[in-house]
Amino acid sequence: DSTPLKKRLVYAGFFEKCAIIPVDGIIAESKEEVDEYFSIMRQEGEEGVVIKNLDSLYVTKKSKDWIKVKIQTDCDLVITDARLMKGSDKDIGSLTIETSDGKYSGSIGSGLNEEQRAKMFELHSQGALVGTIVAVRFHRLTAAGKFYLPRIIEVRTDKFEADSSEKVDELILLG
């Protein structure tokens, strides 16, 4: 559609004709208003907000005119298992990670870049991958205590113990 969002929203009966459910929102005039609304949404248990340019056109792909804003948390976790990529004997496919007390865990694979895969395989071939501490960024914890959308930031050669679940809980609260 070549009609900007602010015009599309005022069409009579727009929402009745589409499989779209309107959500509450605000029109923010400043970054401070966006930050305040984001804080309110987080307090209400929402994952984040989407910032939309009112003059934007609808596109079916990522756009600089519609931006998701979510909290992400960084913590240090231990690698407890590694699996090779299917059909390969030289590429790490996925890693299992967890807190020092094992309460929270997860699997990382699709987010590894080539450099990280090479580093992980080098450690794996030396028998040193399991037990390695890695800095991980994730969006949230699931109800089952799994890291949601985790990705490795770096290998922590300066640390020898993962964060506990209590520490991860504190980091999440600090947001």
Band of pLDDT at residue 25, cut at 50, 70 and 90: confident
Q: What is the mean pLDDT of residues 133-151?
A: 93
Across the chain, mean pLDDT equals 86
Cα(50)–Cα(43) distance, integer angstroms: 16
Q: What percent of the chain has pLDDT over 90?
A: 42
pLDDT at residue 12, as a whole number? 46
10 Å CB burial of residue 52 (0-12, 13-18, 19+) is middle
Taking phi over 0 as left and psi of -120 to 50 as alpha, with beta for the rest, 94 belongs to beta
Q: Residues for the chain: how many in total? A: 175
pLDDT range class, residue 80, cuts 50, 70, 90? very high
Q: What value does the mean pLDDT take over residues 29-52?
A: 87
Work out the angle at residue 101's Cα, subtended by the Cα atoms of residues 100 and 103, and round it to the nearest 5 degrees: 115
Please, are residues 76 and 163 in contact by the beta-carbon 8 Å criterion? yes
φ and ψ at residue 145, rounded to 5 degrees: 80, 25
pLDDT at 138 over 70: yes
Q: Is residue 26 predicted with pLDDT exceeding 80?
A: yes
Residue of higher predicted confidence among 119 and 126: 126
Q: What's the CA gap between 35 and 46, in Å, rounded?
A: 14
By C-alpha distance, which of 129, 34, 12, 29 is closest to 82? 129
**φ, ψ of residue 164 in degrees (nearest 5):** -80, 165
